């Protein structure tokens, strides 16, 4: 029975968690910097690093307290080593390595996207390898074949914007706060798909995606409506939000389905911040019944960045003896370069 402390600090959330290899997630604490960055319309890297620095130790203390443990009960410390913002990653890496050194325990550098990919294991209904994974976050829209834990094959990627980025950028055009995905989703609940927005590359026979054309289409739509003296508010705003949500989710669903058809793998994992989207989940749930595959999601509160997914991967890697006393962060890191365990 091992206990792993997980530290996530790759972007604008400081996430801490303790994962027990036998009993699962013991405790987790999270601080989101979203309010700090909102006024700038996106994440300001230097402000992010400083805020991680302020919050990380109190959050570790709180997490240990919630778990009724002390640092002496921890067997290893897992931390996000990349990809992400250099300064933000360095805060987590430094704290992890300093704590580990002081307590004579190893550290385990973790790939942030592996955390997202495996986060559905934190749900009651757990996927088993092999599975297809749709990773839809603010920075990534990738379809992976997960052959083993650690052996990831990239099947499809976006040519330009990620799905979350498409939500966020179109939300910004509509005057919604950052990050806009959840605001579009909220508005869409009362909207109708009145506007027919493009679904780029939906008919291509490969798993490549593209979302940047959607921005142009939304910009043109806003400009046309404004010319007709139609205000972008109320029902019009809700209808645009619904049309955006339908367009993005249709592409994600179609490409994931194609991956299932092409590989014959009948288990699908949806992860990353966009996996919190209810319309996306409904579409996948319906198709899973129709096409006879099984779909898995992370628990809702663990869709966006958190320490639990890092502690979880840390526990897997620790069990396989993968620890590291070197001190490194990799702001750019190819997921398919990991070694199978
Ligand atoms: O995985 P994540 O927390 O951060 C990255 O690693 O990028 O994902 C954040 C992304 C943002 O683009 C955000 O707008 C999107 O996830 N998101 C959503 C929803 N909740 C968060 N997109 C659509 N619908 C949602 N309910
Ligand atoms: Zn993330």
pLDDT digits (tens, 9 = 90+) for 210-224: 999 999 999 999 999
36 and 168 inside one domain: no
39 and 162 inside one domain: no
**What is the reported pLDDT for 325?**
63
> Positive or negative CA dihedral for 181, 187, 189, 192?
negative
Find the length of the chain: 341
Phi and psi (nearest 5°) for 221? -60, -45
Residues 142 and 157: beta-carbon distance below 8 Å: yes
In 168-206, which positions are buried (b, 16+ CB within 10 angstroms) versus exposed (e)?
Answer: bbbbbbbebebbbbbbbbebbeebeeebebebbbeeeee
pLDDT class of 302 with cuts at 50, 70, 90: very high
Between CA 185 and CA 72 the distance in angstroms is: 43
58 and 141 inside one domain: no
Between CA 276 and CA 273 the distance in angstroms is: 6
Task: Write out pLDDT tens, residues 160-213.
Answer: 999 999 999 999 999 999 899 999 999 999 999 999 999 989 999 999 999 999
Q: Give the number of the ligand closest to the Cα of residue 42.
A: 1
* Mean of pLDDT over the chain: 95
Q: Give the number of the ligand closest to the Cα of residue 303.
A: 1
Question: Is residue 207 within a helix (H) or strand (E), and if so which, with residue range?
Answer: none
276 and 142 inside one domain: yes
293 and 195 inside one domain: yes
114 and 135 inside one domain: no
- Assess whether pLDDT exceeds 80 at residue 333: yes
Q: Is the CB of 167 under 6 A from ligand 1?
A: yes
Q: How many beta carbons lie within 10 A of that of residue 255, not counting itself?
A: 22
Strand stretches in the chain, DSSP E? 3-8, 13-20, 24-32, 76-82, 107-111, 131-136, 141-148, 151-156, 267-271, 294-296
162 and 250 inside one domain: yes
Dihedral angle computed from the Cα positions of residues 180, 182, 188 and 193, in that order, rounded to the nearest 10 degrees: 60
> Positive or negative CA dihedral for 294, 299, 300, 304?
negative
256 and 208 inside one domain: yes
292 and 312 inside one domain: no
Q: Is the CB of 244 under 6 A from ligand 1?
A: no
Q: Is the CB of 256 under 6 A from ligand 1?
A: no
**CA angle 254–183–132, rounded 5-degree value:** 30
**What is the reported pLDDT for 329?**
87
**273 exposure class (CB count in 10 Å sphere: 0-12, 13-18, 19+):** buried
Cis peptide before 130 (omega within 30 of 0): yes
CATH number for the domain that contains residue 170:
3.30.420.40
Q: Is the CB of 179 under 6 A from ligand 1?
A: yes
81 and 167 inside one domain: no
Find the domain containing 26 and state its range: 3-118+302-337
- Assess whether pLDDT exceeds 70 at residue 332: yes
**What is the reported pLDDT for 184?**
98
Total domain count, the chain: 2
268 and 179 inside one domain: yes
Q: Give the number of the ligand closest to the Cα of residue 245.
A: 1
pLDDT class of 106 with cuts at 50, 70, 90: very high
pLDDT class of 42 with cuts at 50, 70, 90: confident
291 and 312 inside one domain: no
- Assess whether pLDDT exceeds 70 at residue 63: yes
Instruction: Report the candidate in 218, 211, 138, 215 with the shortest Cα–Cα distance to residue 178.
Output: 138
Q: Is the CB of 185 under 6 A from ligand 1?
A: yes
From 30, 163, 177, 181, give the residue whose CB has the most ligand 1 atoms within 8 Å, as the site to mutate.
181
């Amino acid at each position: 029975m091992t206990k792993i402390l997980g530290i996530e600090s790759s972007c604008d959330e400081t996430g801490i968690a303790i994962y027990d290899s036998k009993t699962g997630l013991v405790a987790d604490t999270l601080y989101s910097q979203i309010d700090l960055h909102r006024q700038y319309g996106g994440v300001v890297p230097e402000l992010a690093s400083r805020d991680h620095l302020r919050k990380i130790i109190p959050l570790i203390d709180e997490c240990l307290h919630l778990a009724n443990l002390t640092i002496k009960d921890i067997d290893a410390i897992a931390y996000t080593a990349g990809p992400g913002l250099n300064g933000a990653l360095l805060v987590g890496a430094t704290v992890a390595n300093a704590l580990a050194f002081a307590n004579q325990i190893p550290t385990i550098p973790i790939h942030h996207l592996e955390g997202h990919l495996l986060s559905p294991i934190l749900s009651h209904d757990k996927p088993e390898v092999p599975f297809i994974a749709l990773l839809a976050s603010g920075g990534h829209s990738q379809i992976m074949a997960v052959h083993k834990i650690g052996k990831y094959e990239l099947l499809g990627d976006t040519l330009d914007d990620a799905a979350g980025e498409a939500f966020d950028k179109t939300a910004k055009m509509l005057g919604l706060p950052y990050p806009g995905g959840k605001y579009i989703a909220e508005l869409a609940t009362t909207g109708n798909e009145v506007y027919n927005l493009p679904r780029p590359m939906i008919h291509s026979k490969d798993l490549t995606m593209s979302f940047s054309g959607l921005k142009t289409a939304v910009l043109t739509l806003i400009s046309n409506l404004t010319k007709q003296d139609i205000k972008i508010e109320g029902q019009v705003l809700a209808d645009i939000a619904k049309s955006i949500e339908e367009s993005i989710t249709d592409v994600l669903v179609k490409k994931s389905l194609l991956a299932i058809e092409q590989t014959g793998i009948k288990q699908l994992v949806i992860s990353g911040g966009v996996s919190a989207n209810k319309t996306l989940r409904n579409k996948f749930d319906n198709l899973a019944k129709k096409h006879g595959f099984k779909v898995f999601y992370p628990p809702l509160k663990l869709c966006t960045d958190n320490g639990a997914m890092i502690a979880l991967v840390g526990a897997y890697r620790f069990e396989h003896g993968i620890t590291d006393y070197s001190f490194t962060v990799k702001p750019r890191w190819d997921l398919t370069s990991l070694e199978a365990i």
